[in-house]
Amino acid sequence: MDKRIKNLFNQSILDEAATCFGINSSQLTDIGGFENYIYQYTKNDTDYILRISHSYHRSHDMVESELDFVAFLANNHAPVSIPIPSQNNRLVERIIAQDGSYFTVTSYVKASGNPPKRSDGNEKLFYEYGKTIGTFHRLTKEYQPKDSIVERFTWDEDPLLVHMSEFLPPDDQIINQKYLTLRKRLNKLNKTKQNYGLIHTDVHMGNFFVDDNQLCVFDFDDCAYQWFISDIAIVLFYYLVNVNEEEQAEKGKSLMVPFLEGYFTENSLSKKEFQYFDLFLKLREIVLYAVLFQDNEIERSKFAKKYVENHRDKIIHDLPVFAFDIRNVL
């Protein structure tokens, strides 16, 4: 998390955030958070999530656009954690910080089920995983923001990518150059309603709960206009990122075969789109590299240090992200 945000967050902000949703801050349980402050609470025998974000990360308009999209998905029976209105009947509340910037506060019905474990992975779960993302992609083709909503940003307008060079150390500025080259290539790809729209962009296994193999997805904080194939590449990326190279082909196939079977029951996506699959794997490889430096994970995380060691040369020398070929499962 941005150090500036940590310095501005205090008990007074937390107290006011809780009041917005009719509770006391003593009822909140801190459950962590990477780019936001995340809490759980119970009200009228129902469990909820409270999320506090800062304008340095997402503006009020962008949080509103996120929740407008999530509400659209929920209203169309997609399996998402449903946002709820505040005491003032607003989905997004604003709290002014001491420097004149602000925090936004949102709340959601807590997803049913439990976090999936890698050991939970089976064909049925992977099938439902694909079916869920296929549902999102099918529905987003019909999504139109309300008149009062500012349109959500495109994938390359995300502040992380815009300001990547500021997060990376001097010796790693070549990573930003690799990103800029990739961005130029991606932005030449065709965009149609059938292959491009507002999507989650981060549906890894840490962003949904599972109840009897049924998913409930949350954390649309990174949602953006992006190619659908990116969501599929991201699923594979996070599933294989900690897998030894000699096992990647087998593990990737065990995930992707049932995943794509489920996906295609909900959404049609031309197989031609998969020729760009490796480009979106590379994009996520670069994005995660930048995130780890942005949030200073390199200083305290064994995973971050190992990731940089394993992927720096792959990015610089344009090497495949994994020993896996998507063509083998199509």
Q: What is the pLDDT of residue 217?
A: 97
**How many CA atoms lie within 13 Å of 136's alpha carbon, on the beta-carbon side?**
32
Do 106 and 83 touch, CB atoms closer than 8 A? yes
Domains delineated in the chain: 3-109 (3.30.200.20), 118-329 (3.90.1200.10)
Least confident interval from 58-72, 218-232, 236-250, 297-311: 297-311
Do 218 and 108 touch, CB atoms closer than 8 A? yes
Do 40 and 81 touch, CB atoms closer than 8 A? no
On the question of pLDDT at 66 being above 80, the answer is yes
CA triple 54-55-56, angle to 5 deg: 90
* Mean pLDDT, residues 253-279: 97
Residues 270-328: tens digit of each pLDDT: 999 999 999 999 999 999 999 998 877 777 889 999 999 999 999 999 999 999 999 99
| pLDDT-above-70 percentage for the chain | 100
| pLDDT-above-90 percentage for the chain | 90
Structure tokens at 24: 């006391």
The residue assigned the tokens 């304008």 is 55
On the question of pLDDT at 41 being above 90, the answer is yes
Residues 160-217: tens digit of each pLDDT: 999 999 989 999 999 999 999 999 999 999 999 999 999 999 999 999 999 988 999 9
CA dihedral 120, 125, 129, 130 (to 10 degrees): 130
Q: What is the pLDDT of residue 294?
A: 82
Do 214 and 79 touch, CB atoms closer than 8 A? yes
Helix segments in the chain, DSSP class H: 3-8, 11-20, 60-75, 123-140, 159-162, 164-167, 173-186, 228-240, 245-266, 277-294, 302-316
Q: What is the pLDDT of residue 121?
A: 81
The packing angle between helices 302-316 and 173-186, to 10°, is: 60
Confidence of residue 3 (pLDDT cuts 50, 70, 90): confident
Do 103 and 94 touch, CB atoms closer than 8 A? yes
Q: Which helix (H) or strand (E) holds 29?
A: strand 29-30
On the question of pLDDT at 2 being above 80, the answer is no
177: closest CA among 186, 187, 164, 188? 164
Distance of CA 25 to the CA centre of its chain: 27
Least confident interval from 33-42, 202-211, 223-232, 263-272: 33-42
Q: What is the pLDDT of residue 190?
A: 96
